[in-house]
Structures are given as C-alpha cells and as structure tokens.
Amino acid sequence: MRYFIEFDYLGTHYHGWQRQPNGITVQEEVEKGLRSITGQETALVGCGRTDAGVHARNYIAHFDGHILDRNGFLEQLNIRTPADISINQLYKVNQEAHARYDANFRRYEYELSYEKEIFFHQSRYHYPYTKKPDLAILKDLTGLFLGEHDFYAFHKLGSDVKHTNCTIAEFDWRATPNGLILSVAANRFLRGMVRLLVGASINTGLGKVSLHQIRAALHHQVQLPINLSVPAEGLSLIEIRYPYPLIALD
C-alpha cells in the first residue's frame, strides 16, 4: 500500500531534504525512523527538494508499506525522529499517487526581519542594513512575475531540468511589524529560484536594479547586473496541493 506522510522540519542543521553522501538530510532521518519501526528499508519520495538550511511546513512524501495503527505509527515515528522534525499526518492514497509529480501547487514564504531576533534567528533572515527596500516598488514586481515565464535568469546553473518555465500564481510582499514577508506560489520552482527572486526584489527595492532590467531578465533570459541569493534561514516551504483530496487514515 502507498501512503503520503505529512511533516514539518526546521532545516537549520540539515543539508536539505534529499539524501546526500556527505551530510545529514531530512530524508535520511525520517527513513531511519521508518526502518526502526518496520524493520526494513523504506524509501521516501519527497514532494520536492529543499536546499541546506531551508525549512518546511506540511511537507509531503510517499512510501510503500502496511500500517495497522495510524496513531501508534505517528507516535512511534515522532519518538524515532529528531526534535526538529515533527510527523503530523498519514494519508492512504492510490498506488499510482506520487508525492512529487502529482503536486500542482507549491507555496513558499521568505521572512526578513529588520531586528536581530535571537529567538527566531533560525527561521528569519536578519536584514542588518539601515536602508530598507521600498515596499511600493516591491509590490510593483507582482505584475512582472505573475503568470507563466521563463525563469532561466532566476535559477542556479547546473540544474538538471528539461525547461525553466514556471507559472507563478501569487507573488505578494507585505510588511510585518519588524520586517517583510514574501509569499510566492507556483506550479513548480527551480533550484534556488525563490532565494534569487527575493534577492532581486531587495535590490530593486533599494534602487540597485530597475524594473526594466527585471523585465528584460524574464523576457530575454539575460542575467541581472547584480545577483543576490539571500540566506536560506528565511525560507520555508509552506503548502503543497494535489489535484485530488488527501484523506487522513483512520
């Protein structure tokens, strides 16, 4: 039987989601917990990669197995995983369901704080500079990024993707009492794309990059004169959607 598992993680101490030869990953830790419960190797397939230091809420992965007691399973897996990983829900799905390829909507948030918040430093980027990005200019970027575009200029080179087109459904900068938050949703994201979009937004809001240059980067796949990839700690994967409902296992 195939199951979707939903969990949160703080990515600070991990080299991203996907298992790697040189570094501890979230996938590795959850698979170790599953192996401890089932007594056999159980492979997880995640809804997407997150880079080192990036966080996730409501992350979805699938695995094959047989679960007799949902509540007991969730309890035991939480016991067997580190404190910065929280197992929240289990769903029984069709055998053909795929956590990554079936996902058709992904939402990220990037949180930037103007104050040095020591109790939140792992999940917010501390922006230490006196000059702040102009929120009105940041909001002007919404009209440029919404819809389908080629985001070649906003992804890390070396990615093994067949194309760099993405359809952005939401791009919204909003003020908080101590900083800014970007909420961005799309059908798919490229490697490093959100952090580069945030960096480009900040530079535009500071007057270092013009709206015309952003438009040229999108329409002609040319690099910006200044590229900025913001730190990972401010970025969280927030929401994953599928074209079918997920019903929790009883």
> For 49-81, what is each residue's pLDDT tens digit?
999 999 999 999 999 998 888 889 999 999 999
Tell me how far apart the terminal alpha carbons of the chain are, to the nearest angstrom.
15
Place of tokens 């055998």: 95
Determine the Cα–Cα distance for residues 53 and 123; give it in Å rounded to an integer.
Answer: 9
Judgement on whether residues 92 and 6 belong to the same structural domain of the protein? yes
Q: Is the pLDDT of residue 250 over 80?
A: no
Mean of pLDDT over the chain:
95
- Per-residue pLDDT at 244: 97
Tokens of residue 235, six digits: 């970025």
Residue 250 lies in a domain: no
- Per-residue pLDDT at 158: 66
- Strands of 74-193 (E only): list them: 85-93, 105-113, 125-126, 147-150, 165-176, 179-186
- 3-state secondary structure (DSSP) of residue 6: strand
Judgement on whether residues 82 and 113 belong to the same structural domain of the protein? no
Residue 61 lies in a domain: yes
Instruction: Select from 102, 133, 159 the last residue of a domain.
Output: 102
**Predicted model pTM:** 0.94
Give the residue from 155, 166, 183, 188 showing the smallest Cα distance to 57. 183
- Per-residue pLDDT at 239: 97
The CATH number of residue 38's host domain is 3.30.70.580
Phi, psi values for residue 186, rounded to 5°:
-160, 170
Tokens of residue 62, six digits: 């699938």
Tokens of residue 151, six digits: 């985001």
pLDDT band of residue 156 (cuts 50, 70, 90) is confident
The residues, any chain, with a CB within 8 Å of residue 149's CB and separated by 6 or more, are 165, 166, 168, 218
Instruction: Select from 43, 78, 102 the last residue of a domain.
Output: 102
Determine the Cα–Cα distance for residues 1 and 163; give it in Å rounded to an integer.
Answer: 33
pLDDT in tens, 174-197: 999 999 999 999 999 999 999 999
Residue 97 lies in a domain: yes
- Give the length of the chain: 250
Judgement on whether residues 10 and 37 belong to the same structural domain of the protein? yes
Helix 135-145 crosses helix 193-205 at what angle (to 10 degrees)? 130
Strand partners, 235: 110
Judgement on whether residues 110 and 154 belong to the same structural domain of the protein? yes
Instruction: Select from 56, 79, 102 the last residue of a domain.
Output: 102
Judgement on whether residues 17 and 117 belong to the same structural domain of the protein? no
Q: Is the pLDDT of residue 139 over 90?
A: yes
pLDDT in tens, 5-29: 999 999 999 999 999 988 999 999 9
The residues annotated with a catalytic role in the active site are 51
Structural domain span for residue 205: 105-238
Provide the number of structural domains found in the chain. 2
- 3-state secondary structure (DSSP) of residue 177: coil
